Amino acid sequence: RDDRASSGDARTIEFWHIQTSEPTKPVVEQAVNRCQTKRTGLSIEAQSIKNDDFKLKLKMAIGDNTTPDVFHTWGGGILAADVKYDKVLNLTKHLPAGSTGRFHPAALDFCRVNGNLYALPVDVTVVPMWYNKTLFEKAGVDVPKTLDEFQRVCTELKAQGITPLALGNSKKWPGAFYFMYFATRAGGTTPIAERRFEDPAFIEAGQQIQKLVDADCFNAGFNGIDYDEARRLFFNEKAAMILMGTWMLAHAQKEAPEILEKLGCFTFPGMGNEKWNRIAIGGVNAGYAVAANTKQRDDCIALLQELTNDDGMKDWAGTGRIPALTRDAATPMLQPVTLIAAEILFEAEAIQLYYDQYLPPELAAMHKDTTQALFAKTATPQEAASKMAATARRKP
């Protein structure tokens, strides 16, 4: 046990996170400052690292046993892989009794491995279809509820000279949202959980993606631009819709606050099964874990608690994000535009974690590769499914 926190001896912990800009970076910095103030002698060396750079840097640190004391995590398969090699502290026995009851159950589940809790979630996200209400009114279209209605909306928008969907898929994960929604609408969550990669639901998902591509529903060059460029197309009203997580609101507040009053969102259009139509794609977009080999366990857990206490969660909600709390706890904190998306989360039949985070790393990479190939039409739906199945059959 680390007893030095009570003595005030000088000590340092290293903390890596991915909040690199306003409005979310100051929220993390404020939590760090509160923790240092409360814990005499503690110095927290915080590094904010861009998403993709963070993934590579953390992988290398874990590999050579230089893991930071506290680090960002999305939970899911990547966290489970690190747990498998005893790199992450099991928090289950180190948190005060009853302290996790205020968290959203799905958010906690994404942070568990084999029933044990290895991270605390700060935000829980959902991926709705955002739309520009002004452009919808201009085109004379209503919010679609079914896939057929959605396709007709896209056709009408194109007829009005409006790009229906903004997409920046160079990093591959934005296009994966379409794949997962189509797969859940076609087959629910069972084929996903059981990794039945050649299931008809996965084939159908690929076919539906390629129908949208064939109908020219996306902006030009979508596989060659990134999310930053795609959201600017949407913010600049060059596209009517974008399928993106609730973290986009923080970008809107900083980059285009005037667009907020024009934003609406709806759940991804349904197909046949009403229960499957209420599945939402989402996950933990910011959670924090502790290295198993830290020498300052109590300080690390204190930082996790500072990041996730009411002050931290209210600050987080102020950025447009959804704090990873129960409906009753989160709702009073939410901004009006966030509340619309949060209702999709709270009303969901189930929350399916993003597949690139749900799966172990090798399968996650192949999922993104094959999905991008579907958008590029360099692979058929069956070819993409077969590649996933073949990767899954390989021995680790």
pLDDT in tens, 163-179: 999 999 999 999 999 99
Spatial distance between the Cα atoms of 76 and 300, rounded to a whole number of angstroms: 21
Q: 3-class SS at 97?
A: coil
- 379: part of which helix (H) or strand (E)? none
Phi and psi torsions of 10, nearest 5° = -65, 135
The predicted model scores a pTM of 0.88
Token pair for residue 316? 């987080």
What domains appear along the chain, each with residue ranges and CATH number?
A: 4-122+284-333 (3.40.190.10), 129-244+359-393 (3.40.190.10)
Least Cα distance to 242 among 279, 213, 268, 210 occurs for: 268
The whole-angstrom separation of Cα 242 and Cα 176 is: 13
- At residue 5, the pLDDT reads 46
The predicted structure's pLDDT at residue 203: 98
What pLDDT is stored for residue 250 in this prediction?
A: 86
Output the pLDDT for position 308.
96
Q: Going residue by residue through the chain (396 aa), what tens digit of pLDDT does each one get?
A: 344 444 468 999 999 999 998 889 999 999 999 999 999 999 999 999 998 899 999 999 999 999 999 999 999 888 998 999 899 999 998 998 889 999 999 999 999 999 999 999 999 999 999 999 999 999 999 999 999 999 999 999 999 999 999 999 999 999 999 999 999 999 999 999 999 999 999 999 999 999 999 999 999 999 999 999 999 999 999 999 999 999 999 899 889 999 999 999 999 999 988 999 999 999 998 999 999 999 999 999 999 999 999 999 999 999 989 999 999 999 999 988 899 899 999 999 999 999 998 998 899 999 999 999 999 999 999 999 999 999 999 855
| Full DSSP string of 149-211 | HHHHHHHHHHHTT-EEEE---TTSHHHHHHHHHHHHHHH-SHHHHTT-TTSHHHHHHHHHHHH
Q: How many CA atoms lie within 13 A of 240 on its CB side?
A: 26
Return d(Cα 170, Cα 164) in angstroms, integer. 19
Q: What is the pLDDT of residue 7?
A: 47
